[in-house]
Amino acid sequence: MLFVITCVALAVFAVRLVDLQGIRGDELAGAALDQRLRTVALPASRGSIMDINGDVLAVTVEARDLTADQTLITDPKAAGAALAPILRADADVIATRLTGTRRMVYVAKGLTPETWRRIDALGLPGIFGAQTSRRVYPADDLAANVVGFVGSEGTGLAGMEYALEKQLAGTAGTQTYERQPGGGAIPTAERSITDATAGVDVRLTIDRDIQYVAQQEIRRKVRESGADSGTVVVMDPATGHILALATEPTFDANKASLAASGQMGNRALSDVYEPGSTSKVMTLAAVVDQGAATMNSVFTVPGSLLRGDKVFHDHNAHGTDEMTLTGIMAKSSNIGSILASERIGGKKLLGYLKKFGIGEKTGLNFPGESTGRVPPFEDWSITTFPTVAFGQGLSVNSVQAASIFATIANDGVRVEPSLVASVTSADGSDVPRPAPRTTRVVSAESARQVRLMLEAVVGDGGTAPMAKIRGYRVGGKTGTAMYVDPKTGRYGDGVVASFIGMAPADAPKLVVAVSITNPANGRYGGELAGPVFKRVMTYALQAQHIPPTGTKAPHMPLMAGKAQ
């Protein structure tokens, strides 16, 4: 009996052995290997974002994501209590996270290397530190509305971080290895690695010093005036480079999750407004370019003007005046602008507005950009033409408004605005961006005449003498436009006060555009936006080492028979 029982037992063992090793050997060995194998992502290093001079605006630093294999944790409460003071989190919450049968759960993300070393020293089984990275913005809120930010997953969610996600992110790699029962890698086991491809570095056209001054000045003025918001755009008219793109309110890119949604967009591109009197630059430039008038042409400008069923007035009441075209610009006469525009007609005026870029994308490819609008000619009523002539009935964003003046500054050639100067290739060399698109809008002579007219705006008798800069010739235009409430689509009591100008006016190197929305204290573009323009432009001229030209502005007649 003992012999029979022994033979049966051995036979059972033999059958089982044949099954495990002979029949199911490969399957079971593969399953065992699968239990030991662990595949982790090797994140690609995200490219940095820099200003035009190479100063860092966004950079990626080493970090660790704390993960756990719940099946390897025997005492979640003890592990939670050990981790809580290091993570500054509730021990019970951590313990709950460590309890279960999941092979991989996140406990915390974006830990500094120092924090991970403290956790690793505890020697807790089932606790791992996956190599990752963390995005840092060294200047906090500086250019935050341009640069944007990344989310918890490391992908861009706003600004250039979002617009250039593909270039900045690179391609992640993977690493597969066999692990020991306690969780660590088996030193002698083979590893399979697919290397990550790093993202490229991007150099913006933004100058961080000019950006800083622009942000400080618009913040001060918005708070002083009790306005809803404000923007400053600084542009190089010859290249289209945007040297500053400031908005207020703004946010700290390192704490984006704490910011209100209205603070994170870029109002200089997303918000549109009726340009008001700054639009007269386009109207009068079109009139000059068509040969319908020169800067010294005289117009009889009455105190009121009936067109259709509407009576138009100038801001300051006056009798019938004999104004030059320069005087119409300098005194911002609505009636004079209407009379001048009627010499070329609505269709031709609309054609110029389109060439100036109204109603079209700027070319920046910035997320959330609005195009502004000018109604198609077939939708114009009898009062559309006169209102468009002096800046109502159409809308622009702040970059478009700056681009209009940059076109005049650049001898009538519109250069498509740009925010990216270059990207870094795989070999570390800078790759400049393709040349921007250019459009001839008005002739060089027409642009020259308009610049002289804009100088009269800043001169005695003009609407913006406060925008003068000692030693420099300055040309610009004020604007005080009725504010259209985006919620109702109707005019409210508020205004958008603006000033856009260039310097040196006889050889322009920079354009600065300032807009302030819904001020509670103050109302007019000259008094609110003019001083901001002056301080930002003064600093930018010095920062760019732009000397005065040494010439004097000519005396321009504003009224027939009178000199400025």
Question: What is the maximum alpha-carbon separation in the chain?
Answer: 138
Q: Tell me which residue of 333, 298, 301 sits closest to 314, measured CA to CA.
A: 333
Instruction: Write the secondary structure of 366-434 as one string of H (helix), E (strand) and C (coil).
Output: CCCCCCCECCCHHHCCCCHHHHHHCCCCCEECHHHHHHHHHHHHCCCEEECCECEEEEECCCCCEEECC
Q: Compute the distance between CA of residue 264 and CA of residue 255 in angstroms, rounded to an integer.
A: 11
Q: Compute the distance between CA of residue 487 and CA of residue 531 in angstroms, rounded to an integer.
A: 30
As beta bridge partners, residue 418 has 241
Catalytic annotation, pick one of 48, 133, 277, 422: 277
Q: Compute the distance between CA of residue 548 and CA of residue 553 in angstroms, rounded to an integer.
A: 12
DSSP state, 552? -
User: Which whole-number Å values give the CA distances from 503 to 91, 314, 411, in the listed order?
Assistant: 62, 28, 14
Cβ–Cβ < 8 Å for 67, 39: no
Name the amino acid, one letter, at 10.
L
Alpha-helix runs per DSSP H in 139-227: 144-147, 159-163, 165-169, 208-225
Q: Compute the distance between CA of residue 93 and CA of residue 393 in angstroms, rounded to an integer.
A: 58
User: Which whole-number Å values give the CA distances from 177 to 72, 181, 195, 263, 559, in the listed order?
Assistant: 17, 13, 14, 45, 85
Name the helix (H) or strand (E) containing 9. helix 2-17
Q: Tell me which residue of 317, 48, 375, 359 sits closest to 199, measured CA to CA.
A: 48
Q: How many CB atoms lie within 10 A of CB 88?
A: 8
> Between vectors from CA 532 to CA 527 and to CA 533, what angle results, nearest 5°?
100
- What are the E-state strand segments in 420-490? 420-424, 430-432, 438-440, 475-484
Name the helix (H) or strand (E) containing 453. helix 444-458
Name the helix (H) or strand (E) containing 81. helix 76-87
Q: Compute the distance between CA of residue 347 and CA of residue 382 in angstroms, rounded to an integer.
A: 13
CB-hemisphere CA count at 13 Å for 269?
24
β-pairing verdict for 242-248 and 229-235: antiparallel
Which tokens is 77 given?
A: 């409460």
Known active-site residue 333: no
Name the amino acid, one letter, at 538.
T
Q: Compute the distance between CA of residue 50 and CA of residue 47 in angstroms, rounded to an integer.
A: 10
Q: Which residues belong to the active site? A: 277
